[in-house]
Amino acid sequence: MPLTVPVRVLQFSAGVGMMLGLVTSAGAVETYQDENGQTVTIAHGIGTFEELKYPSDFAHLDYVNPDAPKGGEISVWSFGGFDSMHPFTIRGRAGALSSVFFESLLESTADEIGTGYCLICETLEYPEDRSWVVFNMRPEAAFSDGSPLTAHDVVFSVNILKEKGLPDFRVVLRQQVDSVEALDDHTVRFTFVEGWPTRDLPGLVGGLPIFSEAHYVENDRDFEASSMEPLLGSGPYVLHSVSPGQRIVYARNPEYWGWDVPVMQGRSNFDRIRIEYFADFDAAFQGFTAGAYTFRTENRASLWAEGYDFPAVQRGHVVRDTFHDGNLAPGQSFVMNLRRPQFEDPRVREAVQLMFNFEWSNETLFHGLYDRIHSFWENSEMAADGPPGPEELAILEPLADLLPPGVLTDDALRAPESGSRQLDRGNLRRASELLDEAGWDDVGNDGLRRNTDGQTLRIEILNDSQSFDRIINPFVENLRRAGIDARHTRVDSAQMTNRERSFDFDMLTDQIRMSQIPSSGLKQYFGSETADVSVFNKMGIADPAVDALVDIVLATEIREDMVTATRALDRVLRAHRFWVPQWYKSEHWVAYYDMFEHPEELPPYSLGHLDFWWFNEDKAAALRAAGAIR
């Protein structure tokens, strides 16, 4: 990260600067010189590229209501089931929101990109090169059982994530963090690995979850084991009750230590957050119409267009609304598993892409409400467009021998366009040509293509969502018309989880979620080092040019360079054709029983319904009197 513009700090603990006695103040800047002569900034937060929006004496975030009442319950739904309340292991299927118990040293905001403000820390200190960071912690910070949260818990948490956390995350964290040490009970220092880009690292380690070491040891916990008993955290919610596979209820902790911290004002307003599980999407929608849960974010265009005419809506008991979503598109796509031999040839992958008809699907199935995804950074300035300009070419040309054909000269690949009929004849002809060229040119009496060994080009599309049947089945029909032995296999959520984690699939729907400031997560999604262990790199891409471009993105120190490098990476990833991009919308579609309220202006990067909305008891009483809710 580059040095952010420092801000005045009102107070700080006995960190490095105080110990050296070198703190100076110049207007709004608190700095000191470290032993290497670097200027060290002391601040209440840190940003990647931009100045912090909020000053050190801010009272609350702009988008919250600091006077929001506390109380009531909000309930939402989740799909499938769960058998664990421990989200930091690949064993078991973790319950929704099961990371809610844990806080971190820093807290991000929903109206800025790439910033973090002190939550468990009071201040942090970092040099110009960001090779280390010291967090001066709030002495009042405590776990939900009242025990103190100390620097020793931070050290314990980081080390266990490096030793026993999710495999892909563990690999990357080991490469980044050289050491973490408690300087005293409330001061912790991170030193980063020399040679690793440090732009993001203070913010990254400041965002790691913190667990209670004493609780872990006293209860003889195993971090890699699935468990229905959560680890002890310090957050504003605790586990109230759980019915495995059916329901989870989280309760607001009235003794939460951080109610007076500025970054927490106007947040965590509900007494309870209840999550109801449903086996399929139709049952979940029917549950909402019956009042089984009270807040729904809608992701099915057909329901949004036609389904919200049930009695509770007609009587005004349910509010239906839209809110702008400024986030990146979620990268939702059919992902091809490059570990499978049938996807080795990029011509086969291109043929598969050609057979999905988004335009027909959008008009026929989605009421024209979606836009097509073309980029991994869709809905942002980081999406590659047209041919590469001089700045991108300066990055790409040294990698020329490693790049897919056309990257240096052609427009960035876009998802194929199709006509108004389910099967686009032009795309079918082109797909057939590609498959012939790839050696799948022997078409039998059954219409299926075979290679020289007599094998069919078999592709299984794995699916655990009933609502996707109507999307996948026409895609399979189109693939079979091209001579591909395509199959649609429905599995339950537990089977889906197991097969995803073991990479036992040909194709499936996934969300390749990128961030507004690409950081070390790129290595989890696209890095060769984690290709066979990462739960995010489902396509299994392991490519030296991609690895080099990821390193370049991570090393950028100004935003303009980051945007250029990310466009170059986006261009190369798209050229590998391991996905069939689906669709996105730049709005939140929500429906809720009319007892919830929200700030007049919502932030661009979060709907925040579980965070900074609140409950209106008078409205809820009216709904109960009308029989709309129980």
* Residue 198: C-alpha distances to residues 5, 151, 177, 415 (Å): 17, 22, 10, 35
> Three-state secondary structure along 451-516?
CCCCCECEEEEEECCHHHHHHHHHHHHHHHHCCCEEEEEECCHHHHHHHHHCCCCCEEEEECCCCC
| Average pLDDT score over residue span 265-287 | 96
Could you report the per-residue pLDDT of 374-431, keeping only the tens digit for each? 999 999 999 999 999 999 999 999 999 999 999 999 999 999 999 999 999 999 999 9
Counting residues of the chain whose pLDDT is more than 70, the rounded percentage is: 95
Cβ-contact 101, 235 below 8 angstroms: yes
pLDDT, residue 372, reads 97
What's the pLDDT score for residue 17? 42
* DSSP calls for 173-232: HHHHEEEEEEEETTEEEEEEPTTS--SSHHHHHHTS----HHHHHHTT--TTS--SSPPP
pLDDT-based confidence at 9, cuts 50/70/90?
A: very low
Residue-wise pLDDT tens digits, 488-522? 999 998 899 899 999 999 999 999 999 999 998 99
306 vs 295: CA distance, rounded Å = 18
> pTM of this prediction?
0.87
> Whats the size of the chain, residue-wise?
630
Name the nearest CA neighbour of 180 among 134, 214, 139. 134
Per residue in 56-114, pLDDT (tens digit) is 999 999 999 999 999 999 999 999 889 999 999 888 889 999 999 999 999 999 999 99
Distance of CA 57 to CAs 53, 61, 203, 597, 625, Å?
A: 12, 11, 20, 27, 45
d(CA 136, CA 141) in angstroms, rounded, equals 12
* Alpha carbon distance 183, 152 (integer Å): 9
Residue 2: band (very low, low, confident or very high) from pLDDT cuts 50, 70, 90: very low
pLDDT per position as a tens digit, 537-576? 999 999 999 999 999 999 999 999 999 999 999 999 999 9
For the stretch 101-147, pLDDT in tens is 999 999 999 999 999 999 999 999 999 999 999 999 999 999 999 99
- As a whole number of Å, the CA-based R_g of the chain is 26
Q: Where are the domains of the chain?
A: 332-584
The per-residue pLDDT for range 39-57, each reduced to its tens digit, is: 999 999 999 988 899 999 9
- The confidence score (pLDDT) of residue 537 equals 95
**Region of residue 386 (left: phi > 0; alpha: psi -120 to 50; beta: else):** left
Closest CA to 568 of 422, 441, 440, 391: 391
CATH topology of domain 332-584: Dipeptide-binding Protein; domain 3 (3.10.105)
Q: Is the sign of the CA dihedral 276, 278, 284, 287 positive or negative? A: negative
CA 546 to CA 129: how far, in whole Å?
26
